[in-house]
Structure 1
Amino acid sequence: MTDFALNADVRSDLGKGASRRLRRNANLIPAVIYGGDKAPQSISLLAKDVAKLIEDEAAFSHVIALNVAGTTETVLIKALQRHPAKSFVLHADFVRVVADQKLTAHVPLHFINAETADAVKLQGGEVSHTMSEVEVSCLPQDLPEFIEVDLAKVAIGQTVHLSDLTVPAGVELVALAHGNDLAIANIHASRVQGE
């Protein structure tokens, strides 16, 4: 399990103009920490630190140690606002993590054995993914980095649903808890016929 950490400074200059000045002059990203039993706090982060952090997809499903002016907060990335054309981060929202309270987070799905499944390798089927991540509910220490979806035994025409996933102990799939057994992936016959 990788440890993630960021350094941040408290910001008192708020508003749209102040945020633009931060991004333009200081190469900083405005952000907010909220949740838990504390009041929301406005902070700023170095743009290059955030860019490096989000290169790893695991950062989105891990607890991050956020050092704000000497105080460490444990947080999750709740939302990132990106530039529409250049994809760099304009603003970040973090939610505080409380050790004994369940949290909800989006965890990526890793599809394994897709190329070696009999339906693909021998019968020429094609894999279609309908989801790339799932929302889970668990305690912070139980938060998985990713959830594997094994496609080895999936036949042509068969669909993999949330109920088919094997999740770690203490982790609950939010959609399944609400009675929605959503489709994740399927293998269908190829539309292109071989010569």
Structure 2
Amino acid sequence: MSTHEIKVERREDGGKGASRRLRHAAKIPAIVYGGGIDPVNIQLDHEKVWLASQNEWFYSSILDLSLDGQVQKVLLRDMQRHPYRQLIMHLDFQRVNENETIRASVPVHLVNVDTSPAGKTAGVVVTQELNEIEVLCLPGKLPENIEVDLGNMSVGDTVHMSDVVFPEGVQPATAIDESHNPAVAVARHARVEVADETEEGAEGDKAE
């Protein structure tokens, strides 16, 4: 598991006015809570966090918050963004205990699509139906992503969550059964969908 350290500073002032002043100073107001310790108000450098937020790991990995020379392991639990500006308004971090199971959403990466029978067939599109999976695991076992190998996927195949091979020590947060087994990826003939749309359009013209 990769280590991602983010330096933060303690902030004493609270309230909307103080938060507004922080944002004007290119800082992000935030809070870190949980772990049986009192919540702490903190502030972060906006530019550094904005760059980090462009990476997938920022949302799904254990982060090392460096505060007053001490490192606390946390998960990002909430991010408030400005409705139209490239501005992060507030962040919530939750402390994690390395010996306690956590619940987190992990991105899904499809691999070997181009080399699969479906990927090498003209007119076939492989679509990703599930972008992330919520898992249960110890913090040290949390993967940055879950790879789903589609190397054997053929035209017409659907890969379900029950087909996913989870890393050791990681399991889906919701049990996989007949009522919960969502599709992860599907291989379809693109030209069939186009033909269907054309036929529907033609029928609509006739009706008019």
Paired AA for residue 182 in structure 2:
L
Counterpart CA distance in 2 for 1:3 and 1:146 is 14
Q: How much does 1:183 deviate?
A: 1.3
Q: Distance between the aligned counterparts of 2:152 and 2:83, measured in 1?
A: 40
How many positions carry a matched residue from both structures?
192
The one-character-per-residue Cα deviations of 1:122-166 (angstroms, maximum 9, x if unpaired) are: 253111112211111100111111111112212222211111101
Letter in 2 for 1:180: H
Deviations 1:9-47 (A, max 9, x none): 1112112222111101x2100111111111211111111
Q: After the TM superposition, which parts of structure 1 deviate over 6 Å for at least 4 consecutive aligned residues?
A: none
1:113 aligned onto 2:112: yes
The answer to whether 1:185 aligns with 2:180 is: no
Amino acid at match of 1:181: N
Distance across 2 between alignment mates of 1:88 and 1:137: 31
TM-score of the two chains, using structure 1 as the length reference: 0.90
Work out whether residues 127 and 186 of structure 1, in 8 Å CA contact, stay in contact via their aligned partners in 2. yes
Structure 1, unpaired ranges of 5+: none
Task: Provide the rounded CA distance (Å) in 2 between the counterparts of 1:113 and 1:58.
Answer: 22
Q: Tell me if the contact between 2:11 and 2:42 (Cα under 8 Å) persists in the aligned partners.
A: yes
Distance 1:3 1:40 in 2: 23
* SS of residue in 2 equivalent to 1:120: coil
Q: Deviations over 1:40-96 (max 9, x none)?
A: 111111111212222321232222111122332111111211122134311111110
Q: Secondary structure at the match of 2:152?
A: coil
| Letter of the 2:3 counterpart | D
* Identical pairs, percent: 39
Any stretches of 5+ residues in structure 2 without a counterpart?
Answer: 196-208
In structure 1, what is the equivalent of residue 133 of structure 2? 134
> Cα offset for 1:4?
0.7
Partner of 1:5: 5
TM-score normalised by the chain length of structure 2: 0.85
Q: Which amino acid aligns with 2:60?
A: S
Q: Which has the larger radius of gyration?
A: 2
2:18 — aligned with what? 18
The CA RMSD measured in Å over matched residues stands at 1.8
